[in-house]
């Protein structure tokens, strides 16, 4: 097992290279992956945030949008998921300007004290797997 080392974007990039993930880096240094498969598409951001980049922040934004008539069902599904699962936290993100919304997945953890690379790898892999599980559940069990 590796030693505990400070957390930063380089550690995230090390994960991406280790697992041969195709990723993009935006102008702020945030790392984005795009997933497509089994009828599911989403963008996943894996970032070092906080005053000293000490927070691992992961956000997933599915490409599916919901109209106003589906918002209540989506909120109910998110609440149900959040009450029975730790990963990921889910919520409905509403764009009032065009009466559309999407369901987002999120996980944040403070790594100010550092982290083993294996634990960081596990957290990123678990977030991605749990996001896929959630999106399949939304589609297959909730019809959303």
CATH code of residue 74: 3.30.1460.70
Q: Is residue 1 situated within a structural domain?
A: no
- The pLDDT, as a whole number, for residue 98 is 75
CA separation for the pair 117, 102 (Å, rounded): 32
- The pLDDT, as a whole number, for residue 100 is 87
Those residues with Cβ within 8 angstroms of residue 139's Cβ, 6 or more apart along the chain or in another chain: 39, 40
Contact (CB, 8 A) for 90 and 102:
no
- The pLDDT, as a whole number, for residue 1 is 64
Q: Is residue 107 situated within a structural domain?
A: yes
Total domains present in the chain: 1
Q: Is residue 3 situated within a structural domain?
A: no
Blockwise average pLDDT, block size 10, the chain, 144 residues: 89 96 92 91 96 96 91 96 94 85 96 96 96 95 94
Q: Which domain holds residue 81?
A: 9-140
Q: Which residues pair with 94 in a beta bridge?
A: 101
């Amino acid at each position: 097992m590796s030693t505990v080392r400070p957390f930063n974007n380089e550690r995230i990039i090390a994960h991406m290279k280790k697992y041969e993930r195709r990723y993009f880096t935006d102008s702020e240094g945030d790392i984005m992956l795009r997933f497509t498969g089994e009828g599911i598409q989403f963008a996943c951001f894996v970032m070092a945030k906080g005053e000293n980049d000490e927070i691992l922040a992961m956000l997933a934004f599915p490409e599916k949008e919901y109209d106003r008539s589906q918002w209540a069902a989506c909120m109910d599904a998110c609440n149900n998921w959040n009450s029975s699962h730790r990963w990921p936290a889910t919520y409905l993100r509403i764009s009032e300007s065009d009466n559309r919304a999407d369901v987002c997945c999120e996980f944040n953890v403070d790594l100010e004290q550092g982290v083993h690379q294996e634990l960081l790898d596990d957290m990123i892999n678990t977030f991605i797997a749990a996001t896929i599980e959630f999106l399949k559940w939304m589609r297959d069990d909730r019809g959303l």
